[in-house]
Structure 1
Amino acid sequence: MTPLKKVVPIAIIFLGLFGFPEMVFPEGVLSILQQRVLAIFILATLMWVSDAVPAFATSLLIITLLVLTASNSAPFPLRDGLGEDMLNYVSIFNSLASPIIVLFLGGFFIALACAKYKVDINLARVLLKPFGQKYEIVMLGVMIITATFSMFMSNTATSVLMLTIMTPLLARMDSEDPGCRAMVLSIPIAANLGGMGTPIGTPPNAIAFRYFVGEHALSFGGWMLFAVPITVAMIAFSWWLLQKMYPSNGGHLDVRIDGRFERGLKPYIVYITIVVTILLWVFSDVHGINACAVGIIPVAVFSLCGIVDKHDLKHISWDVLWLLAGGIAIGTALASSGLAGLLVSMVPFEQFDAVTIILGISVLCMIMATFMSHTATANLLMPIAISMSNSVVSIAEQGGLVVMGTAVALASSLGMGLPISTPPNALAHATGLVDTRDFIKTAQILSPLGVLLIFSVLMLMTWMGFF
């Protein structure tokens, strides 16, 4: 189906919801503002799920519609019926400069500097060397390095880097060897799982992290305290599973990678800035600097020192930042309009216990993320999950906002059962060495197991009073 054929029915649905709300929404249940926000939310859902247009374009459309139809900047005819409920257009535009956007921008600048001065390739060379030449150990090394990079870099960029590095290794393997499939699959699996380890590892984490303020504050290191053990356990199990599913015919690999760390003033500035930034992120509990504030440091240093210039800026994933901004904007609208709370209040939570609710939304998130963007899934479910945490007393009394937020964020990373599920999966599929059945075969075990592990760890941390 062409994009136009996808857009037309979605546009008709939106115009029906927006133009004739009385035909859809019960009278007196939703205010005019809530009807419009719900119509925009449904439009965003359909656009993100269908891929009718690029995901970032949907986010920009969300911001535009919110400003022009639901804010105090809406044109006069559209203000009728809004009364005093109108959203502040400044708060909507603030999503484009949210602290989380700055946090991700800092990660992108680090990735740019790493690529420009070959820090990533040389780290891979140094880190792979201790793993020798035995096939199983080399694959473990690849997964550890990929997961580690994904904690601080884009999962997509990490996968591109690792698949590039592994190309000569894979060329030396027999393409009919099941071990070759395992080696290729190990990279997207490790990238997806590694992204769970830090608040900047993947956009869903950042979406959740923005809610962890005030009495629900969670530090960068605090997130890693429970997320890294989950990542380590999942990487270890994935490594074992890949060996069982795809046993290799060959025992040894040649893992030589040419290159050396660059020397000079600018490379040293890059090395020092990256180390300082990561240390400040990890130990934010000690010095008290917010993780988002730390994220601006590499942006400023690399710009001032000419390490990242105007030409390099073209390589930043601006589409990811805009996609994030759209999610933040719709989340703000759902909360500010009272719609999220109203929708949650309609659900009979008294019929379910807290454990069922947390496990249920985690499974739902994993399933949705398998068929659509992880970020879009988190954008759609996060505001609802946060509202649920405030509505269910048994959850709210136990730090449930953090539990629900992290459950949605981490479970979204487990949606990896298809080539379209994540960019790392798509990149691995593009090599021609793995097919759709391979992703389904591994994910049908890894994804449910991961949800159970996340649920168990979060329950344990809650019982211990960590949240």
Structure 2
Amino acid sequence: MKFTSTLQFNCVPDWAEHYISYSNLKKLIYQIEKGLISVPIVPEDIEAVEVSPLLDSKSRTNSIFIPALDKELAKISIFYISKEKELFDEVTSLVHDYAVFENLNDSLSVHSNSLVTGLSYQSSESAFSQGRSSHPIRRSRSASDAATSHVSSDDDENYNYSTVNLLEGRLPYMWGPPSIEERRIHLKKRTVELFVWLSELKSYSSLNKTGFSKILKKYDKVTSSNLKDSYLSNVVNDAYPFKASTIKKLEDHILKVQEIYSYLCTNADMDIAIRELKTHLREFIVWERNTIWRDIISLERKSHAVGVKAPVAVEQLVETPANIQTPFGMVIVPKTFWRSFLLLLVCIAAFLFFLNANFFKKEEQNNCFALLILASLLWSLEVIPLFVTSLLVPLMVVCLRVLRSDDSPHKRLDAHETTKLIFSTMFSPVIMLLLGGFAIAGALSKYHIAKMMATIVLSKAGTKPSFVLLSNMFVATFASMWISNVAAPVLCLSLIQPILRSLPPDSSFGRCLILGIALASNIGGMASPISSPQNIVAIQNMDPSPTWAQWFFIAIPLCIIVDVLIWLLLLWNYQPHSDSLTIHPIRSTRDPWTGTQIFVIVVTIITILLWCTEKQLESFFGDMGVIAVIPLVLFFGTGILTKEDFNNFLWTVIILAMGGIALGSAVHDSGLLHVIAKTFQSMTSDLDVWQVFVVFAFLVLVVATFISHTVGALIILPIVAEIGDKLGGSHRNLLVMGSALMCSVAMGLPISGFPNMNAIMMEDEMGLRYLNIMDFVKSGIPGSVLGMLAIVTIGYGLMLLIGF
């Protein structure tokens, strides 16, 4: 395996940016190789640093490469020193707490004093060596022992209280001191966690040293130099993280933790203690690598599309392709090709039928209706990729000449005029809003801001199943507001892996928790204008466009209410409180906030505030789409996001939205939308606004359950908007926003949105899926109905309250 991959899959994900920038150094080597022919140029991204004393050869190539190495070495050293201090302080605290625990346990064996004196890393290391020469962590009654046990019997109550604070994060207990066993379990957890992170720090040093050796070897090979030996021996080996004394000190602290664990858990048997600690370390590494790198990076990259296919059965994956003999040889055709081909023929046949049926008086309306049928079938059946259908829309609009002139409604525009109009319509301010949302989501994900916020909240959830479930659901909903309800469930499902691994195989809580995150992520799709594409489609069809404050006023209370209703439904269906569960708490990140993260948060908050007050600033900004330029300029202009991040935007979603806007414009400008709206109006003439709202809410719920939420919005929302205009009092925005919210709560089946698809693919260590179809039938369908009831009652009232 190449070292680039080794580094990627063996580094600590939370520390990824603090490792050696191996890929960048490789790029620099290749630039230097090209520069050997011409004049070498220092790359712009390499900052000026002090010249290494090794530059006695005055090599032009070394003068470029060595400063880059020095910069990486300084970065690694600064991070290692800060982490070492943090972890060593934790070890010192643990040692002291363990000594106090020994006194509370009334086991006045002689091993704690040596620990307190010998394990304080600022003290003489020889004291520690003497303390473990006869037996690890053995102590005698000495001054330090007297210091920890000098409290008289009159002061026992105060002593116990201060000890409780010490062992439990130094926070006072409201309900009295914990038992000895509870203190022991708490110390064990701290010991395991410290062992894991000390081992990770040791791996950090080893991996970076290997990185310097590998990159220097490559540099020497490419440039025919002899830099490796001198730089490793004179510079790298003298750097603090790689000194022998540093590694020895780290190993001593690891040994201290192992000894404490042995006396807490294995009756001082060091061999068993080390085996158990290594097991904990192995489980932790598997979780970190699998859930963080595989789920967040791989799955998120593969699944960033609106029209994600439903899970494929194993039998379908191993189908034998069909062989067709032709005059030109044997052609291998997958069996699924015939299904797609037949569906495509059905779509084309339906298009040709409606194109020649003359259901409407005007030719442009009849042509537009045929185009609407074709696009709807292609989007619904996904015969071809969704964005390809969107690209087909402007082509068909021009060729079929479906647009009419605004000045003269009876005049059809020619192909040239239609082309200019349809392409000017496709790139609207709403598309710019979508790009701004992608920039914010990209920055929040790239710099782990979303993950840090999520772990901080989830670490406070405790171990009660109902609270853990509710906390995870709220985190999934909140994350969906900003990083989309495609990436949010991937992030949240990766964070609960320690909980899932600690559950018994037959526990219902695992299914309940996975399903809760999936349904909450769907609900989060309606929380903000940028949380899902159907909201962008809704804003395009609303007149006037709603402000962010108006959207939040309606959507956030609905999200909270529907989350709570589904939480109660899941508790009723799965009854996790009836199981005797031991829930592994989620560990909160301890990394401090960096300047870059703070800058991203500040820019995000300012952008959202400007979006919320856009109506008041309309004379200056003009539209929300212009405000969306701010995060794009600041993030890409400062280098926080790069061109690779720009290329990774969900361009398929953007093209899909642009195609939907083009189709909506064609249906409107051809006059077809007016005719359809009049037909629906006559069918619902006896109904009031609320009844019409309920009818369309139910229609959207059914349609969006079986097809993509965005596709359902693209097909239905333009019709809903026109009908809203025809109702008395112009309730266009009420019907459009209500229908868009209904798209998000359509979550009754595994194929109803990406969160459900991702959830049903979750497997345990044995390769068995946690969820099946019946889980969605008994929770997803009732959850959708509860969401609909909340929208047509509370949501309806909130929309009327703000004048929709």
Q: What's the TM-score once normalised by structure 2's chain length?
A: 0.53
Query: CA offsets, 1:191-215, max 9 Å, x none?
Result: 11111121222111111112333xx
Structure 1 residue 125 corresponds to structure 2 residue 455 = yes
Letter aligned with residue 389 of structure 2: T
Deviations 1:313-353 (A, max 9, x none): 23211111111111111111111111101112123132333
Whether 1:358 and 2:702 are equivalent positions in the alignment is no
Rounded to whole Å, the distance in 2 between the matches of 1:354 and 1:35 is: 30
Q: In the alignment, is residue 10 of structure 1 matched against residue 341 of structure 2?
A: no
- Matches of 2:498 and 2:522, distance apart in 1: 23
**What residue is the counterpart of 2:88 in the other structure?**
none
Structure 2 match to 1:279: 609
Instruction: Describe the SS at the equivalent of 2:628.
Output: helix
Classify the secondary structure of the residue corresponding to 1:351.
Answer: coil
Taking a change above 3 Å as real, the CA distance of residues 264 and 244 of structure 1, as seen in their structure-2 partners, is closer
Counterparts of 1:89 and 1:260, CA distance in 2? 56
Q: Which residue of 1 aligns with 2:361?
A: 30
C-alpha separation in 2, matches of 1:433 and 1:233: 27
706, 719, 734: which one aligns with 1:371: 706
1:306 to 610, 633, 639: 639
Alignment-derived partner of residue 747 in structure 2:
416
Mapping of residues 321-340 of structure 1, within 5 Å: 321-340=654-673
The verdict on how the C-alpha distance between 1:12 and 1:115 changes in structure 2, with shifts beyond 3 A counting, is same
Please name the residue that 1:227 is paired with. Answer: 555
Structure-1 separation of matches of 2:718 and 2:550? 22
Which of 724, 731, 737 is matched with 1:400 structurally?
731
Is 1:154 aligned to residue 491 of structure 2? no
Q: What is the distance in 2 between the residues matched to 1:138 and 1:250?
A: 15
Q: 1:257 maps to which residue?
A: 587
Contact 2:456 2:589 in 1 (8 A): no
Match of 1:79 in 2: none
Please state how far the C-alpha of 1:285 moved relative to its aligned partner: 4.8
CA–CA separation in structure 2 for the residues paired with 1:54 and 1:386: 27
Secondary structure of the structure 1 residue equivalent to 2:639: coil
Question: How far apart in 1 are the matches of 2:592 and 2:423?
Answer: 41
Mapping 1:177-256, distance limit 5 Å: 177-213=507-543, 216-248=544-576, 249-256=579-586
One-letter code of the match for 2:363? I
2:398 aligns with 67
Cross-structure match for 1:293: 626
Counterpart of 2:112 in structure 1 is none
What is the letter of the counterpart of residue 436 of structure 1? Answer: I
How far off is 1:463 after superposition? 5.0
Match of 1:50 among 378, 381, 385: 381
Paired AA for residue 299 in structure 1: L
> Structure 2 counterpart of 1:196, which letter?
M
Give the counterpart letter for 1:322 in structure 2. Answer: I
Name the counterpart of 1:99.
429
Given candidates 460, 469, 473, the residue that maps to 1:143 is 473
Q: Distance in 1 between matches of 2:402 and 2:702?
A: 34
| Kept after mapping to 1: 8 A contact 2:393/2:663 | yes
1:113: Cα distance to partner?
1.2
Q: Is the 8 A contact 1:103 1:292 kept in 2?
A: yes
Q: Report the secondary structure of 1:154's partner residue.
A: helix
8 Å CA contact 2:558, 2:795 repeated in 1: no
Q: Which range moved further: 188-197 or 309-318?
A: 309-318
Contact 1:71 1:89 survives alignment (8 Å) = no
Check the 8 A contact 1:99/1:292 in 2, yes or no.
yes
Contact 1:155 1:191 (C-alpha < 8 Å) held by counterparts: yes
Check 1:173–1:277 CA distance in 2 against 1; reply closer, same or farther (3 A cut): farther
Residues 343 and 383, structure 2, Cα contact 8 Å, conserved in 1: yes
Distance 1:361 1:310 in 2: 42
The Cα shift of 1:231 comes to 0.8
Do residues 439 (structure 1) and 776 (structure 2) align? yes
Q: Secondary structure at the match of 2:459?
A: helix
- Counterpart AA for 2:561: A
Q: What is the one-letter code of the residue matched to 2:555?
A: A
Relative to structure 1, the CA distance from residue 327 to residue 261 in structure 2 (aligned partners, 3 Å threshold; closer, same or farther) is farther
Bigger relative contact order (CA 8 A; separation at least 6): 1
Distance in structure 1 (CA, Å) of the matches to 2:546 and 2:540: 10
The Cα shift of 1:72 comes to 7.8
Q: Specify every segment of 5 or more residues in structure 2 that has no aligned partner in the other structure, as ranges.
A: 1-335, 405-409, 763-768
Deviation per residue, 1:26-69 (Å, 9 max, x gap)? 4xx33111111111100011111112112222111112211332
Letter in 2 for 1:200: I
Single out whichever of 167-176 and 153-162 deviates more from structure 2: 167-176
C-alpha contact (below 8 Å) 1:389/1:401 kept by paired residues: yes
CA distance 1:174–1:297, shift in 2 (3 Å): farther
- For 1:234, the aligned partner's letter is V
What value does the CA root-mean-square deviation take over the aligned residues?
2.2
Q: Summarize deviations over 1:268-316 as a string: whole Å, max 9, x none.
A: 3222212222332334455445433322221111110111111222321
SS at match of 1:387: helix
5+ residue gaps, structure 1, are 74-81
> Using the alignment, how far apart are the partners of 1:453 and 1:72 within structure 2?
39
Q: Is the CA contact (8 Å cut-off) linking 1:188 and 1:428 kept in structure 2?
A: yes
Distance 1:256 1:451, change over 3 A: closer
Q: Can you list the C-alpha shifts for 1:89-143, whole angstroms capped at 9, x where unaligned? A: 2332234422111112112111211221111111111111222222211111111
CA 1:253–1:462 in 2, change beyond 3 Å: closer, same or farther? closer
Instruction: Say whether residues 1:315 and 2:645 are aligned partners.
Output: no
**Structure having the higher Rg:** 2
Count of paired positions: 447
Following the alignment from structure 1 to structure 2, what is the Cα–Cα distance between the partners of residues 443 and 152?
24
Distance 1:131 1:258, change over 3 A: closer
- Is the Cα contact below 8 Å between 2:481 and 2:525 reproduced in 1? yes
Once the two structures are TM-superposed, the CA of residue 456 in structure 1 deviates from its matched residue by 1.4
Which residue matches 1:108? 438
- Check the 8 A contact 2:749/2:777 in 1, yes or no: yes
* Cα distance per residue 1:250-284 (max 9 Å; x no partner): 44422233644565543332222122223323344
Task: Report the equivalent of 2:324.
Answer: none
Q: 1:42 & 1:17 partners in 2: Cα distance?
A: 8
Distance 1:115 1:40, change over 3 A: same
Q: Distance in 2 between matches of 1:356 and 1:256?
A: 46
**2:566 corresponds to which letter in structure 1?**
S
Q: Distance in 2 between matches of 1:257 and 1:96?
A: 46
SS of aligned partner of 2:784: helix
Alpha carbons 1:284, 1:291 under 8 Å: kept: yes
Instruction: Report what 2:236 is aligned to.
Output: none
Q: How far apart in 2 are the matches of 1:389 and 1:72?
A: 23
2:748 is paired with a residue whose SS is coil
- Distance in 2, Cα, partners of 1:291 & 1:60: 25
- 2-side partners of 1:450 and 1:25: how far apart? 40
Instruction: Rate the CA distance shift 1:233–1:258 in 2: closer, same or farther, 3 A.
Output: closer
- What is the aligned-residue identity percentage? 28
Q: What is the alpha-carbon distance in structure 1 between the residues aligned to residue 592 and residue 389 of structure 2?
A: 41
Structure 1 residues 426 and 326 mapped into 2: Cα distance closer, same or farther (>3 Å)?
A: same
